[in-house]
Amino acid sequence: MIENKKMEKKIRQENAKNHDNFYKTSMLSKQQRDNATSIAEKYMDFSDFGKSAYGFEKAYNSFKDREDKFIEYLKYFDGKNLAIVYKNSELPVAVIKGVINCFRNLKNMEKEHKEMFLLYMDGITKTKSFGLVKNFIKKADKEYIKTTAENILKEDSNKKEIVDNIIKGFN
């Protein structure tokens, strides 16, 4: 019986040693991690996030520090879906601000981004409890949204209805 305990102790010690060595040798250098990350991002498939409220918030949390990737996700998600997936749940204010900032920080808002902007801002106004949530959006953000929507309308008069909905919603 004493021999069994000694043998078990020896096995545990050996396993612990092997376990420690595994983690010491499996650590990747910063360069290796960065290379792996860049490869993963290059071939990223947004279908892992899903087109749901949970998926949208998961993507926001994953990419809130990487606006270039978040704008790519916004293209994938499509602003028309926002009101649909948030018809039974509130869109968190932090996520709304993240979407607004993502567009605000674009260095060059191309036609594609302008269309996305309108769809997302209109979608935000149609989410559950937006009337209450909009009270937590800064005045400067509301002004940015209205001004940007009006500037888009000046370029494309066919967008009058959606721009009017956005302006009315963010007043």
What is the rounded distance in angstroms from the CA atom of residue 28 to the CA atom of residue 8?
A: 33
Least confident of 4-18, 22-36, 138-152: 22-36
When pLDDT is cut at 50, 70 and 90, the band that residue 119 belongs to is very high
pLDDT at 124 exceeding the cut of 90: yes
Q: What is the pLDDT of residues 43-69, one digit of tens each?
A: 566 666 677 888 899 889 988 888 888
Give, rounded to a whole angstrom, the gap between the first and last alpha carbons of the chain: 80
When pLDDT is cut at 50, 70 and 90, the band that residue 25 belongs to is very low
What is the rounded distance in angstroms from the CA atom of residue 23 to the CA atom of residue 155?
A: 58
Mean pLDDT of 92-102: 93
Residue labelled with tokens 């956005």: 166
Distances 20 to 11, 14, 26, 129 between C-alpha atoms, Å: 14, 10, 10, 52
The proportion of the chain whose per-residue pLDDT surpasses 70, expressed as a percent, equals: 81
Which residues, listed in sequence order, are joined to residue 90 by a DSSP beta bridge?
128
| Tokens describing residue 158 | 């066919």
When pLDDT is cut at 50, 70 and 90, the band that residue 164 belongs to is very high
8-state DSSP, 88: S
